[in-house]
A = this chain, B = another copy of it.
Amino acid sequence: MKPGVGSAVILVVDDEPQIHRFLRPALEAAGYGVERADNGREGLRLSAARAPDLVLLDLGLPDLDGQKVLQQIRAFSKVPVIVLSARDRDAEKIAALDAGADDYVEKPFSVGELLARIRTALRHVRARDAAPERLEAGELCVDLAARRVTLSGQALQLSPREYALLALLASNVDRVLTHRQLLTAVWGPAHEEDVQYLRVYVGQLRQKLGAIGPSLIQTEPGVGYRLVLPET
């Protein structure tokens, strides 16, 4: 999840169905979205494809060693990873933490503690990505706190979706947000395929932003969009 919008998506990688049956309701009750992977390969694939905000990783997987999965995730992503494991050997913990895990929780664990550790891990990410809540670029000013956008002094009329989209882009200036990221954040996971929404709404935003619109919101073909600040 990028700062400022919606809640987080958590990927659970575990081969035991009862863990999924147990964790999914708990996580969803806490307001998180949940993705499921039943083995290491699936976990790796979803880590890349869905870009979850946090990964809960079991060490004892049938196909790939959990340690290997962690290494490979770290090869391309800094997503927080909390290792769940029944193994309580010190060496195991130390190896996992040094391989890039952000925390290590022994099974059996209490849900409350796990949720607290998830909050802690997500807090770290937000501290790292912390964005100012007001952002100006020439004539344009996006005030996340006041939920207001002004262009050359006067307020812009934006529909809820238009604002959500612009706010998300503004919280990640200069960074590309993928179609999937934008769609899940603004329209929800159910519409993560509806790229046409983005075309329509980006078009509307560009139009409302006036002459500078097309240059402010840039298209990364096949990937997503980014908002840039023209150096004025």
| Chain B residues within 8 Å of A226, by CB | 146-147
By the criterion CB–CB under 8 Å, are A223 and B147 in contact? yes
A103 interface hit (Cβ, 8 Å): yes
Please state the number of chain copies in the assembly: 2
Interface residues as binary, A80-122 with B (CB distance below 8 Å gives 1, 0 otherwise): 0000000000110110011001110000001011011101100
| Chain B residues within 8 Å of A160, by CB | 220-223
A175 interface hit (Cβ, 8 Å): yes
The 21 sampled A-B contact pairs (Cβ below 8 Å) are A90-B112, A93-B112, A94-B113, A97-B119, A98-B116, A98-B120, A102-B120, A103-B120, A127-B128, A128-B128, A145-B175, A146-B175, A146-B226, A147-B176, A147-B220, A147-B223, A148-B174, A159-B221, A160-B220, A160-B222, A160-B223
A68 interface hit (Cβ, 8 Å): no
Q: Which residue of B lies closest to A143 (CB)?
A: B174
Task: Using known A-B contacts A90-B113, A116-B94, A160-B223, determine if residue A124 contacts B147 with beta carbons closer than 8 Å.
Answer: no
- For chain A, the bracket of interface size reads 35 or more
**7 tightest A-B CB contacts, nearest first:** A97-B116, A160-B222, A94-B116, A147-B176, A128-B128, A90-B110, A97-B120
Q: Which residue of B lies closest to A96 (CB)?
A: B116
A78 interface hit (Cβ, 8 Å): yes
| Chain B residues within 8 Å of A223, by CB | 147, 160
A217 to chain B, nearest CB (A): 15
